[in-house]
Structure 1
Amino acid sequence: MKASAPKPKWSDVSAMSSTTKSYWAQWDSLLIQDGVLCRKWENGRGDRCHLQIVVPKAKVPEVLQLYHSGCSGGHLGVKRTLLKIRERFYWVHCRDYVEDWCRKCTSCAAVKGPQIRSRGALKLYNVGAPWERIAINVAGPFPETESGNKYFMVVMDYFTKWPEFFAIPNQEASTVADKLVHEVFCRFRDSQRSRKEF
């Protein structure tokens, strides 16, 4: 291109990298200005055209650092970082590089937190009798009562949907287990036994 040579033949570039082939396909949009390789870029409507500097692969991290993590970057998201970069620069697979950079940015990750929160898979449980399977949930802390309780423990029977509510001082395993044994298992043990005998 510097020597004003014609566009190479496909056979000359077919064995080269995908990046080289991409630039070959854009040959008519590329030009050298003041010794710098540039690309003519038109917006989607075709009413605006400007030059983008073609960035060598070794310089891509510097551009990403400047436009995303630097003083003028402001840790913008993928879309806005990409728009800012495309105003002046171009390289093949630019979007992929920006997405990867933003995903690996520790400052952005610290602010946003995990993007995908794992949830337990929903399952269907077959239950054939009362108190065969129960659900336990602890809610709180709430304002402390006069007796020192700050939490609610809810126990529900899967079969009958019968709920039991208990006020507890903390959500430690020993407290929950003690309440289950003395307030649930002992109370409903007799009903289970009589049902089996029947």
Structure 2
Amino acid sequence: MKASAPKPKWSDVSAMSSTTKSYWAQWDSLLIQDGVLCRNWENGRGDRCYLQMVVPKAKVPDVLQLYYSGCSGGHLGVKRTLLKIRERFYWVHCRDDVENCTSYAAVKGPQIRSRGALKLYNVGAPWERIAIDIAGPFPETESGNKYFMVVMDYFTKWPEVFAIPNQ
């Protein structure tokens, strides 16, 4: 905003929101073009420079909708969607909004799948508690067995395996 107004003093901005402070820190990268607030941004590798439109918080859902549901959209994943958005738009906490987008989450599902809680069993003596599982089918033996029944003692971890003809 070099042409329109001088940069406010930190003492004027320090009591404001973190978003305001973030824009204040980027003051030299901001400019007004055709009545629209924009930001000059150089990508992480330093090989491209973009003029990004600064998006008001109220319009963020519209931009996300454009990238997820528009004809050029699609659910590309967080990284690629973020790269595409940053080619044209900017707002503070853009990454958080892309990661938490309900449209994205509905299609991609949870990133960390919760598993059932494992239970600890207190066992005080051998063969007090056992686990049994059936493995197979395997090639049939001469005695007609195709499966194995595996029995494991919880206390000693001792396995016993028995050949059986069927489940």
**TM-score, scaled to structure 2:** 0.73
Bigger mean CA offset, 58-67 vs 43-52: 43-52
Gaps of 5+ in 2: none
Cα 1:87/1:109, change in 2 over 3 Å: closer
Q: Would the alpha carbon gap of residues 28 and 106 (structure 1) be closer, same or farther in structure 2, given more than 3 Å must change? A: closer
Give CA-to-partner distance per residue, 1:17-66, whole Å, 9 cap, x none.
11111111111111111111100111234343221000011100000111
Bigger relative CO (Cα 8 Å, ≥ 6 apart): 2
Shift of residue 145, structure 1, vs aligned partner: 14
Q: Find the aligned partners of 1:61 and 1:22 in 2 and give their Cα distance.
A: 20
Change (3 A) 1:4 1:71: same
Give the Å deviation of 1:131. 1.3
What secondary structure, in the 3-state scheme, does the structure 1 residue paired with 2:95 have? helix
Deviations 1:134-175 (A, max 9, x none): 1233568999999999997543223555545679999xxxxx
The farther-off stretch of 5-14 and 25-34 is 5-14
Q: Call closer, same or farther: CA 1:22–1:158 in 2, change over 3 Å.
A: closer
Residues 1:57 and 1:159: Cα distance change in structure 2 (over 3 Å) = closer
Structure 1 segments unaligned to the other structure (5+ residues): 171-198
Whether the aligned pair in 1 keeps the contact of 2:130 and 2:154 (CA below 8 Å) is yes
Which one has the largest radius of gyration?
A: 1
Distance in 2 (alpha carbons) for counterparts of 1:143 and 1:107:
49
Distance 1:64 1:148, change over 3 A: farther
Q: What is the RMSD computed on CA atoms of the aligned residues?
A: 4.3
Question: 1:110 maps to which residue?
Answer: 106
Q: Sort the Cα spacing of 1:115 and 1:27 in 2 relative to 1 into closer, same or farther, 3 A.
A: closer
TM, length-normalised to structure 1: 0.63
Aligned position for 2:22: 22
Change in Cα spacing, 1:47 to 1:128, as seen in structure 2 (3 Å) is: closer
1:50 aligns with 2:50: yes
State the SS of the aligned residue for 1:67.
Answer: helix
Report which of the two has the higher share of helix.
Answer: 1
- The whole-number CA distance in structure 2 between the counterparts of 1:133 and 1:8 is 73
**Alignment partners' CA distance in 2, 1:131 and 1:51:** 72
